[in-house]
Structure formats: C-alpha cells, structure tokens
Amino acid sequence: MEMLKLFILLVLTPLAFGLVTWLSSPYQKNSLYQLMSNPLILSTLLISGFLIFLGIDYQQYKFANKPFFFLLDTAIVTLAVPLYQQFFNFKQISKPLLITLIFSAFFASISALGFLFILGSETNNLISLAPKSVTTPIALRISEKIGGDPSMTTGIVVLTGMIGALFGPIIFKKLNIFDDRVKGFILGISAHGIGAAKAFKISQKCGAFATLGLSLTGILTALILPYIIIFIF
C-alpha cells in the first residue's frame, strides 16, 4: 500500500504537467493568457491543491519525487552544452555582460533588503532574503554561512524565480527589449534556473545567455555576499 502511494505521488508530477501543457497549448499565442497559463505555475497549483485536498504531507510528496530532484542536478550539468555552443557569442560582448552582471546581481540583493527593511522586518528575515537571486543549491549554502534560515531561503529563491519568469517577458515588451541575448542574460541573473527554463522556451540562444547569467551570479554572490552581510549587520 505504501509503495502504491509513493508511486502515485511520483506519477502525479508528470501527469499534472502533461495535462496542463495539453490544456494550455491553444492559448500560448496571447500574452495575457500566456501569463496565466504558465505550465510550471499551473502544475504547481494543481498538485498543491491535490495534496491539500487529500491531506498528504509535502515531505511525503518530496520523498516520492526524489528522481526529479536527482534529474534536476543532471540538468545543471547539461547546461554546459548550450554554454559551449554559445561561447563565441559571449566573448564578443564580454564587457557589456560584465557591467550588467555586477550591477544587477548587487541590485537584486540590495533592493530586496532595502524594501523589506523599510517595511520593518526582523534581521533574521533580512539575512535569509539576501541570496534571493542565486540558484537554489548555491543560495542554501550561502544562507547557512551567513546565518539565515535555509528553508526560508529556498522558498524565497523559488518565489523570486517564479515572479521573474512570469513577469520578465512582459517587462521586456514594455521596455522594447527584443534582443534574445539581453532577455536571456537578465532572466538568468534575476530569476536563476526558473528564468533559464523560461528563456529556453524563447530560443536556444536566449537560454544559453540565461545559463551564463545564472552561473556567474551564483559564483559572484557566493564569493562576495558573506562579506557584505558581515559589514552591514
């Protein structure tokens, strides 16, 4: 019985994803529908609703879905391939990339901290928020190092990614940004892996730039953020 339950919880993930993708595919042209029919967000809501309805604990679902967490790690390794394919394009524009990276990585962290500080939050919350734009596995380790709450950091990072991937394309449209290189790089910097997944839906080039953005942001933040936190608090 226990085995059957785990099996159902595991199959639930691709099943929900398949259903949502199939149902939302006719609406992918329109940008408003596109916002509401993001397969990742819809599947998440569908599965969460299902789990709550049946009173199943998240830990159980997480345990059953271990294969997906493992494959996500494999996917990170895989990102070396588009990175290699686009390497020539990176070298040509390394200077604008570097300027954008340094500004955006700092701004992502500082602006969130500043805003939360104005709203009046505890120091502990502030520290957990700091690595928000960094890809989850790196953010966890940074958070531990600077004394934040790792489970809270995970939530914040994932939420940042979802918001960035959802609203990024709309902002690009409003600001007349049509260059796939800009879109990808910014999505990677601000919304890490989830932003990159969105970028790969735009084009391969866009995805490769997102990969570059997320790797560089992760490394830069891991190296510098601990020292900034010590300096502020």
Partner 1 sequence: MLKGILALLIFQGIGEFIVYLGDMPIPGPVIGMVLLFLTLQARGKKIPESLKVSSRLIIDYLYLLLIPTCVGCFFLVQNHFNQWIYIVASIFVSTLATIALGGLLMKYTLTRHELRSRIKK
* Minimum separation from the CB atom of position 80 to partner 1 (A): 4
| Distance set, CA 161 to CA 70, 88, 168, 219 (Å) | 20, 27, 10, 17
Sign of CA dihedral 6, 10, 11, 17: positive
Applying CB under 8 A, which of residues 7, 22, 27, 87 lies at the interface with partner 1?
Answer: 87
Check residue 6 for interaction with partner 1 (CB under 8 A): no
Residue in 66, 40, 15, 22 with CA at minimum distance from that of residue 200: 40
Give, as ranges, the residues between 50 and 79 that touch partner 1 (CB under 8 A): 51, 58, 61-62, 65, 68-69, 71-79
Please give the Cα distance from 56 to 141 (Å, whole number).
29
122: left (phi over 0), alpha (psi -120 to 50) or beta: beta
Give, as ranges, the residues between 19 and 38 that touch partner 1 (CB under 8 A): none
Applying CB under 8 A, which of residues 11, 35, 81, 230 lies at the interface with partner 1?
Answer: 81
Check residue 84 for interaction with partner 1 (CB under 8 A): yes
Give, as ranges, the residues between 101 and 130 that touch partner 1 (CB under 8 A): 103-104, 107-108, 111-112, 115-116, 119, 121, 125, 129
Applying CB under 8 A, which of residues 8, 23, 36, 93 lies at the interface with partner 1?
Answer: 93
Q: In terms of C-beta density within 10 A (0-12 exposed, 13-18 middle, 19 or more buried), how is residue 165 classed?
A: buried
Check residue 8 for interaction with partner 1 (CB under 8 A): no
Check residue 173 for interaction with partner 1 (CB under 8 A): no
| Distance set, CA 181 to CA 26, 27, 35 (Å) | 27, 26, 21
Give, as ranges, the residues between 183 and 212 that touch partner 1 (CB under 8 A): 183, 185-187, 189-191, 193-194, 196-197, 200, 207
